[in-house]
Amino acid sequence: MTESAAPQAPHSSQPSDVARRERLRSRLKALGGYAAYVALALALWAASHGSPALGLSPTAAQAAVLVLFTIGAWAFGLFPEPVTTLTFFLLAVLLHVAKPEVIFAGFHSAAWWLVFGGAVTGLAVRTTGLGTRLASTVFALRRPTYPRYVTSVMIASVGLAFVMPSTTGRILLLIPIVLALADRIGLTEGRRGRTGLVMTVAAGSYMPPTTILPANIPNSVLMGAADSFYGVKLHYAPYLLLHFPVLGALKAVILVWVICRLFPDDGPLASPTTATPPPLTADARRLAILLALALAGFATDAWHGISPAWISVAAAILCLLPTIHIVSPKTFSDQMQITPLIYVAGFLGVGAVVADTGLGEKVARLCLDAVGMVPGTPVVNAAWLIAIGAAIGLVATLPGLPAVLTPLAGQLSNASGLPLYTVLMLQVPVFSTVLLPYQSPPMMIAMHLGGVGMRDGTRLTVVMTAITLVLLFPLDYVWWRVLGMLP
């Protein structure tokens, strides 16, 4: 008995060793969080006393520190995201870096209400079984494999951009269906294949559609600002021809390959049943009609002028009405997630503070003064313009990029010697490239709704940025030369 028990002693100590390491890791993470708060306090104190050296007012300098801290904490996951967001709100109000209506602008923005409405309808899609039925219909494959599912989800994400102008709306429609697909084929929570499908929706709904007018916020802002400031009208077909072949279609193909490599799933997939599915419940049928009407409203918002946000809220109200009873009050209170809503309000508030304090324009002018562009070197100057845009995108996030850069386009055109239209179009390669997920609010929304962490999202965006710099930008330059857009 003694001899047989002896070899088991090391094994019995393994769980305690694992628990000890977990406790140590937890303590180190907690200490790191405290150290980050101490560093933030010191940086805010230094900003209030040393701001003249930076050419900023004390308030603007503190705003810059707070914005950089918030962005860094989101990007590297220093704290749970609600903690970072609430810290930003609290300190921004206490330090008076902007008016409360600016700091909390996210809560009364159309984007926040779009997410709220979409979260309710997404909950309805999951609980009524409609998501499972749609997944079995939309993503039915004769020879199902994981790469084929990723490809079909990518085609759906990009294809929907041609008829539905809201990136967040497309994500809110697709995520519940794709999650139902994952459940149907056995990609349960924790499997890399499930993460891959969610990231396909996240990246496929934002990156390639930046090359389609007016499929998302950045190119819509660019279109409006170019006309407002310079009288330059952007038209659908020339914009598509210039950007879609490389940054749209080719990037979508590369995304599929990268996702299959970063999030491979070699495990067995459950075989979807070929039996006739049970009939839809009354709730599912009512929800299908409601979603069809909402989708029609999303796709025709340019005609009727009603924001997709209010269409989304109207659909949510109808789902919650007792007489319709698609989502019960208990289901709503038990399963409605508040974390994504806090996060959305946070990054919208950060963008509003950056715009209100002039930080984005300040960064742009500092970059322009630093690079010292000389007319006559179009390739170098185009690269500098992309680098300046990328720097601004890290601070102002990508939806705010055209609002910051477009008013400076005339000055950038004079400094670079490039035509004004070319300078305006050079914003597209920038806001189509996501270095860190927080830069693209719709991608973050998709990740939250799909249960994907920041680390997995960052892996994809960093790899895609590297591939874009090494491969896609040079090919895009050649394509622009062929079209006569660059000398």
DSSP state of 336: -
pLDDT of residue 277: 63
Q: Are 131 and 170 in contact (CB under 8 A)?
A: no
- Whether the model clears a pTM of 0.85, i.e. scores above it, the answer is no
CA distance 152 to 204: 11
pLDDT of residue 116: 82
CA distance 240 to 248: 9
CA distance 397 to 113: 20
Indicate the helix (H) or strand (E) that contains 481. helix 473-483
Ramachandran bin of 144, using left for φ above 0, alpha for ψ from -120 to 50, beta for the remaining angles: beta
CA distances (Å), origin 349, targets 65, 73, 99, 391: 15, 15, 11, 19
Q: What share of the chain is helix, strand, coil (3-state, %, to 5)?
A: 80, 0, 20
pLDDT of residue 356: 82
CA distance 262 to 196: 8
CA distance 341 to 345: 6
pLDDT of residue 302: 64
- Tokens matching residue 39: 């560093």
Q: Are 124 and 368 in contact (CB under 8 A)?
A: no
Number of H helices, E strands in the chain: 27, 0
pLDDT of the chain, 487 residues: tens digit per residue:
444 444 554 554 556 776 777 777 777 777 777 888 888 888 888 887 765 656 677 888 888 899 888 877 876 767 876 888 899 999 999 999 889 998 998 888 776 787 788 778 878 877 887 877 777 777 777 778 899 999 999 998 998 888 666 687 788 778 888 998 898 888 888 899 999 999 999 999 999 999 988 778 788 778 877 887 788 888 888 899 999 999 999 999 999 999 999 999 877 787 765 556 667 788 888 888 888 888 778 667 667 877 777 888 898 899 999 888 788 888 888 888 777 778 778 877 877 787 788 777 777 777 777 877 888 888 888 999 999 888 888 876 787 788 778 877 888 888 888 999 999 999 999 999 999 888 888 898 889 888 898 889 999 999 999 999 999 999 999 999 999 988 7
What is the total residue count of the chain?
487
CA distances (Å), origin 466, targets 44, 252, 258, 263, 454: 33, 15, 12, 17, 18
pLDDT of residue 410: 85
